[in-house]
């Protein structure tokens, strides 16, 4: 489906706009987290007071009840306030994730098929899942944890400074202040190691799969020993990577408690000293150690959040390039609606180069096709045949004023009409992992079963299909029957024939079928497309002998043009190709 000019918004702008839009939600969320921390830090303070009363022997049952209730109230209020903050942040993150996914999908639906061929679908999905998730996690988790940790830290510092001892706080906190630094520095190393473990595991799986499928070959060539050695190499690599990962995370996991105990030792030593010499009270000493225990985890989390932010910003960058890489091919502002195309084509290409190459893929290609003609395009590999075919439906964008259909520049035809008018079987024709029926009916959901069968018959693949147990309902692809190269080509042709468009392009779509089937198919095409424009790209000349015009491309240039007989007379490239293939045929017969 072709959308009209979906404007693509950079994910970074999207994020900025989202944050502005949700500023009140975030204000409420962050405020309630801050409030929750202010409540929470009262907890050690109260316990300190309690200890003092206890040590002075001034506790009464009424006071005990009072303190117990107060602690309970703190707990409830804390959970309530923090819960609100977390809920709001989490929800915002999900909403953003959803919006970003929507954007990606809308974008991918507008991309040309050639783009999908350059990047595998799996690769794209990977981006969608991992990168979008990383951004969401940083957004909701980050907002929660960062506000939480920073304010808890500030509140704790405030409480210890004002109610206990500045000196004690400063001295004993030194070791644990290294905790976030350690996380920031060491965290990525662990991640790298864990990714390497994953990679070596999947290498090993792939290796196993390959050897299993090549098992006959391995046995036939008596190379079991070689294979076994290669396999144990793979296993060693996995073990090595896992050991590395375990070493790294063990170091990490023991270092943080070490820093914590250092802080506690100092607090005990110096705090004990201050208590003994009555510079602080026992209750203050107890409260202080509680504060210390309280902030170790938040300090660790600050480090994790900073790492998460780094990862998320890399994801955001990747999403940006993913969304921005391919210039959109969209309708011109004054695009013409053309629902009744006859199939006249005029090509006047002076130069066409791909964006990433400075060698022209096509130059000086001029020809005219009247509606109903059959055109053959031949030429060596890399000559520019596929490029030429791609320019007609604007899979790649041709220069303005160089390609016309029914006299109108293709750049000015409404894209949906243009693509509706062209049935195109790409060179590496693409089938979905579903039933044959759905594959053929892809372009026309309303086709009746009879029409679908007829299309399969026209493409000379019906008999092959009937040999499968489930006939037209046979599943093909990853989870079903594997079709041969020639069968795939013919299913793709059936799909194009069903479309019954005024222009049909077959890009090397007969390369994998045998001579007989080719003959049969061409006879069928001649009948079916007698009054419709048909372009056949081929390496084997037998596929284009019957064409009204044959175009010979060489290194991007149109070097010869004419009917089969005319071209034979000219003694040029076509003649050479023909003689060569005749020779091959005699040899193979």
Ligand X SMILES: Nc1ncnc2c1ncn2[C@@H]1O[C@H](COP(=O)(O)OP(=O)(O)OP(=O)(O)O)[C@@H](O)[C@H]1O
Residues that bind ligand X (CB under 6 A): 354, 356-357, 361, 379, 381-387, 427, 508
Rounded to an integer, what distance in angstroms lies between the CA atom of residue 507 and that of residue 183? 56
CB of 358 to ligand X, least distance (A): 10
Give the DSSP letter of residue 399.
P
How far out from the chain centre does Cα 172 lie? 48
CB of 349 to ligand X, least distance (A): 12
CB of 361 to ligand X, least distance (A): 4
Q: Interface with Mg ion by CB under 5 A: which range of 339-347, 386-394, 481-489, 568-576?
A: 386-394
Site for Mg ion in 213-252 (CB under 5 A): none
Q: Choosing among ligand X, Mg ion, none, which partner's interface includes residue 88 (Cβ < 5 to 8 Å by kind)?
A: none
For ligand X, the closer CB: 169 or 387: 387
Q: Specify the residue for token string 């056949």.
A: 536
Taking Cα atoms as reference points, which of 146, 131, 188 lies closest to residue 314?
131
Q: Choosing among ligand X, Mg ion, none, which partner's interface includes residue 376 (Cβ < 5 to 8 Å by kind)?
A: none
Q: Specify the residue for token string 């005024």.
A: 502
For ligand X, the closer CB: 378 or 405: 378
Q: Are strands 549-554 and 557-562 parallel, antiparallel or unpaired?
A: antiparallel
Q: Specify the residue for token string 């006959």.
A: 216
Taking Cα atoms as reference points, which of 558, 559, 557, 533 lies closest to residue 547?
533
Q: Interface with Mg ion by CB under 5 A: which range of 102-110, 384-392, 457-465, 539-547?
A: 384-392
CB of 5 to ligand X, least distance (A): 23
The encoded tokens of residue 27 equal 């204000």
Q: Choosing among ligand X, Mg ion, none, which partner's interface includes residue 356 (Cβ < 5 to 8 Å by kind)?
A: ligand X
Q: Choosing among ligand X, Mg ion, none, which partner's interface includes residue 395 (Cβ < 5 to 8 Å by kind)?
A: none
Residue count (the chain): 589
Contact call for residues 301 and 147 (beta carbons, < 8 A): no
Alpha helices in 221-344 (DSSP H): 224-276, 282-324
For ligand X, the closer CB: 329 or 476: 329
Contact call for residues 152 and 300 (beta carbons, < 8 A): no
For ligand X, the closer CB: 169 or 386: 386
Rounded to an integer, what distance in angstroms lies between the CA atom of residue 500 and that of residue 15? 45
CB of 206 to ligand X, least distance (A): 28
DSSP, residue by residue, 154-168: HHHHHHHHHHT-HHH
For 536, residues 6+ apart whose C-beta sits below 8 A from its C-beta are: 374, 375, 376, 377, 506, 510, 525, 543, 544, 547
Contact call for residues 365 and 557 (beta carbons, < 8 A): yes
Q: Choosing among Mg ion, ligand X, none, which partner's interface includes residue 383 (Cβ < 5 to 8 Å by kind)?
A: ligand X
For ligand X, the closer CB: 311 or 385: 385
CB of 341 to ligand X, least distance (A): 24
Rounded to an integer, what distance in angstroms lies between the CA atom of residue 422 and that of residue 253? 62
For ligand X, the closer CB: 88 or 544: 544
* CA 77-82-88 angle, 5° bins: 130
Q: Interface with Mg ion by CB under 5 A: which range of 117-125, 324-332, 383-391, 485-493?
A: 383-391
Q: Choosing among ligand X, Mg ion, none, which partner's interface includes residue 381 (Cβ < 5 to 8 Å by kind)?
A: ligand X
# residues near Mg ion by CB under 5 A: 3
* Per CB under 5 A, 386 contacts Mg ion: yes
Rounded to an integer, what distance in angstroms lies between the CA atom of residue 376 and that of residue 394? 20
For ligand X, the closer CB: 374 or 386: 386
Q: Interface with Mg ion by CB under 5 A: which range of 175-183, 379-387, 395-403, 409-417?
A: 379-387
For ligand X, the closer CB: 308 or 549: 549
For ligand X, the closer CB: 384 or 393: 384
Which residues sit opposite 422 in a β-bridge? 503
CB of 530 to ligand X, least distance (A): 27
Contact call for residues 347 and 362 (beta carbons, < 8 A): no
CB of 546 to ligand X, least distance (A): 20
CB of 577 to ligand X, least distance (A): 12
Give the DSSP letter of residue 192.
H
* Per CB under 5 A, 92 contacts Mg ion: no
Taking Cα atoms as reference points, which of 22, 83, 150, 113 lies closest to residue 430?
113
CB of 551 to Mg ion, least distance (A): 14
Backbone angles phi, psi at 88, to 5 degrees: -65, -45
Q: Specify the residue for token string 């042709």.
A: 493
Taking Cα atoms as reference points, which of 541, 505, 555, 572 lies closest to residue 382?
555
For Mg ion, the closer CB: 385 or 532: 385
Site for Mg ion in 425-454 (CB under 5 A): 427
For Mg ion, the closer CB: 284 or 507: 507
CB of 427 to ligand X, least distance (A): 6
Binding site residues, Mg ion, CB under 5 A: 385-386, 427
């Amino acid at each position: 489906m072709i959308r009209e000019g979906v404007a693509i918004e950079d994910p970074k702008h999207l994020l900025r706009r989202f944050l502005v839009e949700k500023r009140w939600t975030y204000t409420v969320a962050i405020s309630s987290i801050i409030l929750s921390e202010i409540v929470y830090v009262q907890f050690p303070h109260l316990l300190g007071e309690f200890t003092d009363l206890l040590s002075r022997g001034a506790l009464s049952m009424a006071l005990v009840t009072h303190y117990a209730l107060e602690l309970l109230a703190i707990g409830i209020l804390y959970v309530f306030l923090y819960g609100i903050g977390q809920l709001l942040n989490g929800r915002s993150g999900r909403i953003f994730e959803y919006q970003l996914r929507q954007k990606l999908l809308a974008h991918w639906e507008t991309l040309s098929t050639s783009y999908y061929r350059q990047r595998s679908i799996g690769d794209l999905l990977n981006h969608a899942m991992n990168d979008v998730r990383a951004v969401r996690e940083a957004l909701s988790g980050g907002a929660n944890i960062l506000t939480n940790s920073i304010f808890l830290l500030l509140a704790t510092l405030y409480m210890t400074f004002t109610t206990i001892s500045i000196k004690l706080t400063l001295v004993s906190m030194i070791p644990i202040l290294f905790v976030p630094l350690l996380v920031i520095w060491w965290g990525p190393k662990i991640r790298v190691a864990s990714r390497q473990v994953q990679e070596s595991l999947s290498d090993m799986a792939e290796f196993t799969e390959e050897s299993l499928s090549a098992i006959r070959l391995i046995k036939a060539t008596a190379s079991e020993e070689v294979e076994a050695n290669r396999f144990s190499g793979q296993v060693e690599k996995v073990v090595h990577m896992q050991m590395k990962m375990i070493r790294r995370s063990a170091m990490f996991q023991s270092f943080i408690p070490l820093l914590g105990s250092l802080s506690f030792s100092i607090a005990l030593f110096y705090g004990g000293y201050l208590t003994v010499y009555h510079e602080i009270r026992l209750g203050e000493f107890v409260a202080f150690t509680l504060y210390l225990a309280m902030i170790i985890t938040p300090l660790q989390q600050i480090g994790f959040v900073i790492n998460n932010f780094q990862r998320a910003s890399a994801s955001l960058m990747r999403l940006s390039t993913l969304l921005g890489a391919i210039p959109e091919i969209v309708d011109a502002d004054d695009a013409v609606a053309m629902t009744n195309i006859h199939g006249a084509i005029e090509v006047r290409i002076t130069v066409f180069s791909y964006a990433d190459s400075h060698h022209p893929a096509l130059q000086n290609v001029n020809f005219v096709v009247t509606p109903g003609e059959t055109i053959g395009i031949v030429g060596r590999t890399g000559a520019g045949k596929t490029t030429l075919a791609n320019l007609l439906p604007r899979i790649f964008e041709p220069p303005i004023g160089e390609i016309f259909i029914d006299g109108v520049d293709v750049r000015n035809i409404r894209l949906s009409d243009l693509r509706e008018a062209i049935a195109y079987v790409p060179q590496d024709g693409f089938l979905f992992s579903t039933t044959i029926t759905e594959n053929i009916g892809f372009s026309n959901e309303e086709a009746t079963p009879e029409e679908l069968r007829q299309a399969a018959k026209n493409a000379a693949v019906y008999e092959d299909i009937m040999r499968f147990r489930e006939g037209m309902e046979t599943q093909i692809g990853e989870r079903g029957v594997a079709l041969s190269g020639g069968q795939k080509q013919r299913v793709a042709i059936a799909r194009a024939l069903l479309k019954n468009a005024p222009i049909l392009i077959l890009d090397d779509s007969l390369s994998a079928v045998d001579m007989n089937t080719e003959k049969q198919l061409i006879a069928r095409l001649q009948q079916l497309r007698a009054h419709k424009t048909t372009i056949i790209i081929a390496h084997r000349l037998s596929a284009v002998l019957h064409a009204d015009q044959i175009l010979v491309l060489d290194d991007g240039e149109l070097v010869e043009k004419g009917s089969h007989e005319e071209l034979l007379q000219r003694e040029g490239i076509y003649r050479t190709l023909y003689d060569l293939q005749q020779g091959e045929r005699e040899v193979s017969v």
